[in-house]
């Protein structure tokens, strides 16, 4: 349980300091929201790309990670040979 008196004792007494601390926390929260938004966008992009790949190569759906990596390596090598 939080000790309210302890929290109040640690709060800045000066209004300017308090505003500075609040602004710092707002900035940190905004950075965290931005990072989460970027992470979710990247995850969504990876899912879309995987779905496109599976639509062109349906055999990859049943592959495990090692098989899929080997398939992609063969595909990459085949495209370089041409």
Query: Rounded CA gap, 69 and 58, in Å?
Result: 15
pLDDT in tens, 22-78: 999 999 999 999 999 999 999 999 999 999 999 999 999 999 999 999 999 999 999
Encoding tokens for residue 20?
A: 């500075």
Under 8 Å CB-to-CB from 54, ≥6 apart: which residues? 60, 61
Encoding tokens for residue 23?
A: 């602004």
Encoding tokens for residue 4?
A: 């309210």
pLDDT in tens, 5-14: 877 777 777 8
């Amino acid at each position: 349980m939080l000790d309210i008196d302890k929290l109040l004792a640690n709060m800045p007494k000066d209004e300017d300091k308090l505003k500075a601390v609040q602004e710092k926390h707002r900035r940190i929260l905004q950075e965290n929201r931005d990072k989460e938004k970027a992470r979710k966008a990247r995850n969504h992009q990876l899912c879309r790309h995987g779905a496109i790949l599976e639509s062109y190569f349906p055999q990859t759906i049943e592959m495990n990670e090692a098989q899929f990596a080997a398939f992609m390596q063969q595909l990459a090598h085949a495209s370089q040979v041409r």
